[in-house]
Amino acid sequence: MNQFQLVPDYKSCTWCNEILTLPQFIDGDYHFYCSSCFKWVNWRVNTLLSKSRVSYCQLQKLFFLFIENKSPNQALISFQKSFSSFQLNKNTVYKYFKLFGDIAYKYYQLKVLSTFLNGAIEIDETVVFRQKKTRARRYRKYKLQSMWLLGMIERESKNFIIVPIKARNDLNLMMTILKYVSIESTIYTDCHSVYVNNRRLLKESRLISYGYNHHFVDHSVEFVAKHFPHIHTTQLKDCGDQSNQI
Ligand SMILES: [Zn+2]
């Protein structure tokens, strides 16, 4: 099964609740067989897709396009290029994109409630822009509204969480870290001023006072110190701007 397989590895039987495995592709869709009930159970039964009427291949294509971050319109164009019996109309494409979005959001909400990171944790933040449509006529510009995302990942397990924060200030970032990262974890960051007191000549961690172990990398100093040894480090600008990759 490839990584975009929609069908789960197992499902409980609708009649006897027995766990069924090894779904089989029959008549254009996947089904699980219950050898106690002698019945086939379609994989979509008792899921949010239970009422969906599109074929498995159409559903898979819709999902591919959604995962590839295509817009519903781009997806619609892609379907219009397919052979006629495979095509989907605009309402159907939009309906499934909304459904996938709802499922992803529901999953994210559950993850936010259940995630608590431990051990070696890398933390970084990045800014994204939301395009805000206005009723503007064509000469007016779109207003761009920015939003910060704070990413936290366990080095070993790769378990991670990304949390939107309204502004990148000390309070928001610290509250978020304290909420999702266990005290006594070891945190790796750049030297943004929230994490590191940059006003002192010798940089000091601000996270240590909350009970964390903290290692920080001063990207600009390392880079400049290596390549331009004659420049004194205090002339460098705040290195918090240098790294925005999660
Ligand atoms: Zn059964």
Strands 213-217 and 39-42: unpaired
Ligand 1 centre to CA of 46 (Å) is: 14
Distance CA 61, CA 48 (A): 18
Ligand 1 centre to CA of 54 (Å) is: 26
Contacts of 141 (CB under 8 A, 6+ apart): none
Q: How many CA atoms lie within 13 A of 117 on its CB side?
A: 29
Distance CA 192, CA 172 (A): 14
Pick the more confident residue, 156 or 133.
156
> Does 227 have pLDDT greater than 70?
no
Strand boundaries in 5-55, DSSP class E: 10-12, 19-21, 24-26, 29-34, 39-42
Q: At what angle do helices 56-67 and 72-80 cross, to 10 degrees?
A: 140
Ligand 1 centre to CA of 17 (Å) is: 6
Ligand 1 centre to CA of 38 (Å) is: 7
In contact, 61 and 81? CB cutoff 8 Å: no
What pLDDT, on the 0 to 100 scale, is given for residue 33? 97
Over range 59-80, report the average pLDDT: 93
Q: What is the pLDDT of residues 165-187, one digit of tens each?
A: 887 788 888 899 999 999 989 99
Ligand 1 centre to CA of 32 (Å) is: 10
The H or E element containing residue 74 is: helix 72-80
Ligand 1 centre to CA of 57 (Å) is: 27
Ligand 1 centre to CA of 118 (Å) is: 40
Least confident of 45-54, 55-64, 81-90, 199-208: 199-208
Compute the radius of gyration of the chain from its Cα atoms: 25
What pLDDT, on the 0 to 100 scale, is given for residue 130? 62
Confidence of residue 213 (pLDDT cuts 50, 70, 90): very high
Overall pTM surpassing 0.85 (yes/no):
no
Residue 100 corresponds to which amino acid?
F
User: Residue 25 phi/psi, 5° resolution?
Assistant: -90, 105
> Does 219 have pLDDT greater than 60?
yes
Ligand 1 centre to CA of 56 (Å) is: 23
Ligand 1 centre to CA of 31 (Å) is: 13
Angle at 124 between CA 229 and CA 112, to 5 degrees: 170
Over range 28-43, report the average pLDDT: 96
Ligand 1 centre to CA of 11 (Å) is: 11
> Does 233 have pLDDT greater than 50?
no
> Does 61 have pLDDT greater than 70?
yes
State the average pLDDT for the chain: 82
Ligand 1 centre to CA of 29 (Å) is: 19
Determine the distance from the C-alpha atom of residue 65 to the mean position of all C-alpha atoms in its chain, rounded to a whole number. Answer: 16
